[in-house]
Amino acid sequence: MTPTGGAPAAPDPDATVPTLGPAGRVRKGLTNPVASAIAILVGVVWTIPTVGLLVQSFRDKHAQDTSGWWHFNGLTFDNYKNVLSGNGNVLKNLVNSIVIVVPAALIPIAVAALAAYALVWIDFRGRDWVYVGIFALQVVPLQVAVVPLLRFVVHGAHLGSVTIFPSTGLAGTVGAIWLAHACFALPLAIFLMHNFMSEIPRDLMEAARIDGASHGQIFRQIMLPLIRPALAAFGIFQFLWVWNDLFVGIVMSGGNPAVSPITVAVSNLQNSTSGAGGELLPAAAFISIVIPLGVFIALQRYFVRGLLAGSVKG
């Protein structure tokens, strides 16, 4: 304090200096000038290939084959005209990707949130073993599981001559791709939601139960608002994974071009790089990254909140 009419009081040498918690120390270390300069440098270096792809997408075939993108020569809009409406049209595949990615991101989020709530807050026999089994599924490679899943979609499940589950009738449709992406995303989604929900104080849940709230009311009115950052973060991850997927899109579409995502169309252009149409590849590739880039930029604050959710406090 400053005495009335006098000079400011000298600081007390015996006063205790407040210590920073783990999160505070990390935040202080990442906000110094050296860390900021390194982050800017990494960002610039990481952006250079994207800039090169953008410039290359506006250059004609001769310029692409004879000089680097930094020469900025042979600029033309013909590549984008052909990609969007000409022989290399990928606009339909772009729409297919949008149709695929939205349900493929929402379905596992909804199922994982419900499953994680049951595994954390509903006491039933074998609950821990169910969680361990779901956690263990993360080690199963996608390439190993996609062929049995395709056989299940096409033929159903059979034990000898007994039909356990009939054919789904989804072969060659977007439904097969939705099912595949949802199945492959569920183990990780349930694991993340389970860990986040387990950090919520049990007293809060017990108070809601005492007030007469059912599990459905607790899930809708208490749990969903609290786990919204985790839902948003996983939703962004899943959106990017599904959008950039090529393998599942090729296998589960059954070669049907009517439901193939844009990654398959870009791959087909890649196969023609030695002949006519190869100059369209940079334009098609840049179009394929515009939507996920826009989604990430628009939702990055939710992404950061989700990554920090459940972290140590300081």
222 assigned to some structural domain:
yes
6 assigned to some structural domain:
no
pTM: 0.77
40 and 97 inside one domain: no
100 assigned to some structural domain:
yes
Q: What is the pLDDT of residues 285-313, one digit of tens each?
A: 888 888 888 888 887 777 666 666 544 44
- Domain range holding 64? 21-76
Contact 187, 112 (CB under 8 A): no
219 and 90 inside one domain: yes
Structure tokens that stand for 188 in this block:
């990780």
Answer whether residue 111 shows pLDDT above 90: yes
| Residues 251, 246: Cα–Cα separation, whole Å | 9
Contact 224, 110 (CB under 8 A): no
Q: What is the pLDDT of residues 42-97, one digit of tens each?
A: 988 988 988 988 898 888 888 888 888 888 888 888 888 888 887 778 888 899 99
Report the amino acid identity of residue 19: T
Q: How far is CA 183 from the centre of its chain?
A: 15
